Structures are given as structure tokens and as C-alpha cells.
């Protein structure tokens, strides 16, 4: 048995840090209240928003956000619209948290918009982790590929 350390990959898509570079209107559909106006990071599949109002996991949120022209010679500002579901609530109690935030998973966003957003985010760096990476020890049992016989010769397993 071999023990390995891993950083437990949880994300399939890299988020992009947009702190202060993106305007946003996030409106809860249940009561049509504005819950947040500041994007912390975004990917073609979701975003993290700093909120002024509380939200619950599973609530539907309509979001419109603007990406500023960030690269010299790059495109001008562009607005994107999406509908998402609150996937995560960050209460802001831990060191390194940005305050009360929600993680939003896009549930309705046109494919063309998703692709345009993906293209637009190329070259934008990911956010700096606010906490150390979680290291997990895993024990992996590898099947034997060969064994020694009593005479000292090697026998391959099939």
C-alpha cells in the first residue's frame, strides 16, 4: 500500500479574478431584491459575488455583469446576462474570506454567450487562494504486476 498526498482537485474550470474590474447586478427572483453588485471571480459556468443581502443555497438569481476592456487593444466593455442558482454561501467568518459572498452556478446562459465569455477571460489570472490548499492523504492499493517465485525468478501477473 502506498500513501500519496494530493491537493484534491475540485474544479474542472479555472475561475478568473475580477475583483473591482466588473460591474454586476444580481437580483433574487423570489422577491426581486438586489443582493449584490460586486463580482469577485467568474468562469463560463458561474461566478462569486459579494452580497449585501442574505441568500440561501438553491435560490434562483438573475445576473447581469459587465467586463471592462482589460487588455490593451482588446475588446471594449461588454455586458452578459445569465440566470443562476446559489450553489454555495460563504458567511465570511474565516480568515481570508471576502465577507458575505455567494457562489452562483449558471443554469441558463446561451451557448454563444458562454463561449464569448470564455474567450474574453483568456489571459485574466485566477484568484489568489485565500487559504492554504487542502492536502489529503490517500492510501492506494496497487495490484502486483510481478512477484518473486521461491527460486528467485520473476513471474509476471496477468
Q: Identify the CATH assignment for 2-140 out of 2.40.50.140, 2.40.10.220, 3.40.190.10, 3.20.20.70.
A: 2.40.10.220
pLDDT recorded at residue 30: 92
Query: How do residues 26-77 score in pLDDT, each as one tens digit?
Result: 999 999 999 998 888 888 899 989 888 989 999 999 999 887 755 545 567 7
3-state DSSP of the chain: CEEEEECCCCCCCCCEECCCCEEEEEEECCCCEEEEEEEEEEECCEEEEEECCCCCCCCEEEEEEEECCCCCCCCCCEEEEEEEEEEEEECCCCCCCCCCEEEEEEEECCHHHHHHHHHHCCCCCCCCCCCCCCCEEEEECCCCCEEECCCCCEEECC
Amino acid at each position: 500500500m502506498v500513501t500519496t498526498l494530493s491537493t484534491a482537485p475540485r474544479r474542472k474550470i479555472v475561475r478568473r479574478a475580477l475583483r473591482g474590474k466588473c460591474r454586476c447586478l444580481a437580483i433574487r427572483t423570489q422577491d426581486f431584491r438586489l443582493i449584490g453588485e460586486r463580482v469577485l471571480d467568474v468562469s463560463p459556468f458561474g461566478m462569486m459575488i459579494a452580497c449585501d443581502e442574505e441568500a440561501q443555497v438553491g435560490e434562483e438569481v438573475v445576473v447581469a455583469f459587465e467586463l471592462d476592456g482589460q487588455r490593451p487593444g482588446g475588446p471594449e466593455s461588454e455586458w452578459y446576462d445569465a440566470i443562476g442558482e446559489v450553489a454555495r454561501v460563504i458567511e465570511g467568518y474565516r480568515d481570508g474570506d471576502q465577507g458575505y459572498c455567494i457562489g452562483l452556478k449558471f443554469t441558463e446562459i446561451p451557448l454563444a454567450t458562454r463561449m464569448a465569455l470564455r474567450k474574453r477571460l483568456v489571459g485574466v489570472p485566477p484568484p489568489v487562494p485565500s487559504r492554504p490548499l487542502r492536502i489529503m492523504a490517500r492510501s492506494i492499493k496497487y495490484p502486483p504486476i510481478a512477484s518473486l517465485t521461491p527460486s528467485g525468478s520473476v513471474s509476471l501477473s496477468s
